[in-house]
Chains A and B, each alone.
Chain A
Amino acid sequence: MLRFTLKRLGWALLTLWMVITLTFVLMHSIPGNPFAKEGKMPPGVFENLMRYYHLDEPLYVQYGLYLKSLLQFDFGPSIKSSTLTVNDYIREGFPVSLHLGLQALIIGVTLGIIFGVFAALYHNRYPDYLSMVLAIIGLSVPNFILATVFINYVAVEWGLLPPAQWGTWKHTILPSLALAAMPMAFTARLMRSSMLEVLSQDYVKTAKAKGIAKSMVILKHTIRNAILPIVTVLGVIATNLVTGSFVIEHIFGIPGMGEMFVKGIFNRDYPVILGSTVFYSAVLIFLTFVIDVLYTWIDPRIKVTGGE
């Protein structure tokens, strides 16, 4: 187990380093700079700014400087804000995105599993069609439309909830619902097919044949086994959710990480781009690892000692 973990960690660090390097190259090869604007920018002022943020150094020097500060867990300053560093951005933005993402994840996955189980048990009958249609509707309306519709009707026309911003639990409802639609639909469909597969397994048939109550069969034998594929994809879903959705955060004016990331890219705020990429990748790698461990815990057949 320890050897496996160490090996995984080694690969993870290598992957992370490659992601950083590639991102560094990419972001410096797209046109633009953090100070570009439509108005005046006399060369003298521009040079002062470039010097202030060490952007006048050769790229390999900047790269070295960045890796060095990264080793000290310092993501550097934000160029667009003289009050916030990238660490501040992450420290203030991530809890918000995490809160929103987890809320959406719990809503989405729970509903998804329920729908999926229901659909599988009534395979090719109306409850199946109904839950799949519901799930697909969740999957098929782009979330920017969903968010806009929610704000317009639920918040403004009916006055039930605040339209935007972040603060009380009331503010979290509409964005998490808009965000939950996708994972819900995704989980429902996956759960359905996985359930169908498990239901046709011999041990389920045996259990049924032995006369065990149907509900017991479903609970003990089917769901537990059918949930495995969901756990595998949960890592990717969770990373996408907890690192923030730009669209949802932008529309609802939520101070999370998704908006920061995308704005960082559009503003060419280099430290913000790199910082959020590193953070995103670290979360992804970490979650993949957690999922692997979870997997062995749920499914005793799999032993992690095998390595890659």
Chain B
Amino acid sequence: MQHEPQLTAELFQPVADNSMETEKIVRPSISYWADVWRRLKMNKLAMVGLFLIVGLVVMAIIGPMISGYTYHGIDFKAKNLRWSAEHWFGTDTSGRDLFTRAWYGARISLFIGVMAALIDFVIGVIYGGISGFKGGRVDNIMMRIAEVLYGVPYLLMVILLMVVMGQGLWTIIIAMTLTGWIPMARLVRGQVLQLKEQEYVQAALALGASTGWILRKHIIPNTMGPILVNITLTVPTAIFAEATLSFLGLGVPAPQASWGTMANDALVSLLVGNTYQLFIPGFLISLAMFAFNVFGDGLRDALDPRMRK
């Protein structure tokens, strides 16, 4: 009762060569950054942050130009006015247009924030990278130096800086970075310490790759995520720190305005019922802080593959 299997020649036809077909990626290929962007877009809060940042930057560029006033033009006849068709945000105690000053202040504050973040980034990556990669004694000494810098009174350093450089925008920016780079350096160092133990770095080392090559090709690209997040969070921190320096009288030179100096000048407005003068810079600082922070948080989530659902 055995049936011979019926083997026909058809069964022995060679299969069409579609090996390429199976390797084909059906869905469109997306790079890492496109993937990050895709995930970022899903985060509503982060998108609100991004939108606000773009809005603030645009207003900082065009705001001071569209009001028809200068940020320094004093007009005592128009002092302490509420918002109106002439003065959209009202005027300050010297009759200067608050709309112009607020957006001029946005320029200064955002510029300080962004420049400080970039400088922190450069110094922090180099310092932290070397410290982490070299390790051992070099690392120990470099981290001690950072610690000493943290211990020395910041205000003394700022005062000395003001004396040496004179008052000005760049003085403030450098003041921001005096110790501002340290958290970035620590972050990079931590990342590098982890990464350099990874197999692919070890392999590169074994193959005789130079330190610079390894840093450029392997380590820095792999630490970009946390670094980017840190940059977005440094911007608002610098804006905030500038406001505190203004409180100590070490802000940008008058009559230039930053949000910090505007807020500090307007503290007294609360006492005499001109609350709007404090509200405007206070609100803008908060808005910028909010925007950068939610964007930074969103970016962190988007960059971290573990958050993938």
Which residues of A does B touch, CB under 8 Å?
11, 14-16, 18-19, 22-23, 26-27, 29-31, 124, 129, 132-133, 136-137, 139-142, 144-145, 148-149, 152, 189, 193, 196-197, 200, 246-247, 261-262, 265, 273, 276-277, 280-281, 284, 308
Contacts and interface: CB of A to CB of B under 8 A. Distances in A.
A140 B236 contact: yes
Contacts of A140: 236, 240, 285-290, 293
Contact of B240 (A142, A149, A193, A200): A142
A144 B285 CA distance: 13
Contacts of B45: 129, 132-133
Chain B interface SS verdict (over half): helix
Nearest to B159: A30
A262 B260 CA distance: 19
Contacts of A152: 270-271
B144 A142 contact: no
A292 B159 CA distance: 34
Contact of A189 (B147, B150, B271, B297): B297
B140 A31 contact: no
* Residue of A11, A16, A265 ringed by the most chain B CB atoms within 10 A: A265
Nearest to A137: B286
A202 to B, nearest CB: 11
Interface residues of B, number: 45
B152 A196 contact: no
A273 B294 CA distance: 38
Contact of B151 (A149, A265, A284): A284
Interface stretch (B17-25, B120-128, B200-208, B241-249): B241-249
Contact of A265 (B44, B155, B163, B294): B155
B263 A142 contact: yes
Contacts of B157: 26
Contacts of B27: none
B171 interface: no
B282 interface: yes
A142 B259 CA distance: 11
Given A23-B156, A197-B306, A262-B248, A15 B151 contact: yes
Interface in B286-309: 286-290, 293-294, 297, 300-301, 304, 306-307
